[in-house]
Amino acid sequence: MAFLSCCFARLRPNVYQAVYPARVAHVDLDRSQVLISLEELSGFADHEQSSVEREWAEYIAKRRVHQPAFRAMVMRAYETQCTVCRFKHGELLDAAHITADSDAAGDATVTNGMAMCKIHHAAYDQNFLGVSADYRIHINAALLEEIDGPMLKHGLQEMHGTRITLPQSTRDLPDRDRLSARFKAFLDTSG
């Protein structure tokens, strides 16, 4: 069964265009996902389209409704600073999950999160950076050997062996069992 709906196509940052009608092609309640088909339907074909709209035909949108609350709790616990480098600009910080949000055990609790700047969060998610249960930062062995610019040297390589900055409250500390499991995955992929 297909439903008619409206969706918004992103033209550029902070600029969206309503697309109506859009067809809801599939609803997956178990994953909280909806597949939207942006087929040219009657009345829409005459509309002037940007090149972005022509490039995208359909997509799956998934929204984590708990993320804003999780982020707020983690930022408060870490005093709005990156646990790796102590960078303090909140607009460039993320609440990184230790146990992935997509994992059934990846609950949105402070002890399953760490505040990280965007570069360290991305490095953590890609297993270029790991955090062991003793709160030490480890950098992928291959990355330690690489020679590149100052971001690699100062932003990642020099962090190897240092300790993360921890929350003041012991109840907000990263869960050591979660860190241990995640660090094992880091070791398995980093060599």
Give the C-alpha separation, 8 to 56, whole Å.
12
* Percent of the chain whose predicted confidence (pLDDT) is above 70: 77
139-151 pLDDT, tens digit per residue, is 999 999 999 999 9
Give the C-alpha separation, 105 to 177, whole Å.
12
The stretch 9-18 carries a mean pLDDT of 74
Query: Which secondary-structure segment (H or E) carries 74?
Result: helix 67-77
90-133 pLDDT, tens digit per residue, is 999 999 999 998 888 889 899 999 999 999 999 999 999 999 99
Q: What is the pLDDT of residue 55?
A: 54
pLDDT at 59 over 80: no
Give the C-alpha separation, 4 to 52, whole Å.
22
Residue pair 51/10 in contact (Cβ under 8 Å)? The answer is no
List b or e across 138-172, with b for residues whose CB sees 16 or more CB atoms inside 10 angstroms.
bbbeebeeeeeeeebeebbbebeeeebbebeeeeb
**Two structure tokens written together for 135:** 């709160």
Q: Kindly report the pTM of this predicted structure.
A: 0.68
Q: What is the pLDDT of residue 56?
A: 52
Q: Can you give the residue ranges of every domain in the chain?
A: 3-62, 67-190
